[in-house]
Amino acid sequence: MATQIVMDPTGHSREEFDADDIQALAKAERRFRDLTSQGFTAAVRTADGQSRRVFAFDPTAKETLFFRRLRGG
């Protein structure tokens, strides 16, 4: 199972999907595009526990984090 985690002011939500399921994979890709078009930054966790920013959906990523960009006040 792969997971998409969305961080927002209320906490976070998790969406798990089976990367072998074509429909679930398409839904996850749509969610990636929707969130990044809304201004979320996407990052994939690496094997060593770090994260790296990504600009395209990676169907092999086990965990993708989405967080809003910081805004100045």
pLDDT at 48: 85
Q: Supply the DSSP symbol for 56.
A: S
pTM (two decimals): 0.87
Q: Supply the DSSP symbol for 72.
A: -
Does the residue 49 lie in any domain?
yes
Cα→Cα distances 33→27, 45, 47, 58, Å? 10, 18, 24, 11
pLDDT at 71: 66
> Domain span at residue 33?
2-68
Identify residue 71 by its one-letter amino acid code.
R
* pLDDT tens, residue by residue, 5-47: 999 888 899 999 999 999 999 999 999 999 999 999 999 988 8
pLDDT of 57 strictly over 90: yes
Does the residue 55 lie in any domain?
yes
Which CATH number does the domain housing residue 32 bear? 3.10.20
**How many separate domains does the chain show?**
1
Does the residue 73 lie in any domain?
no
Does the residue 58 lie in any domain?
yes
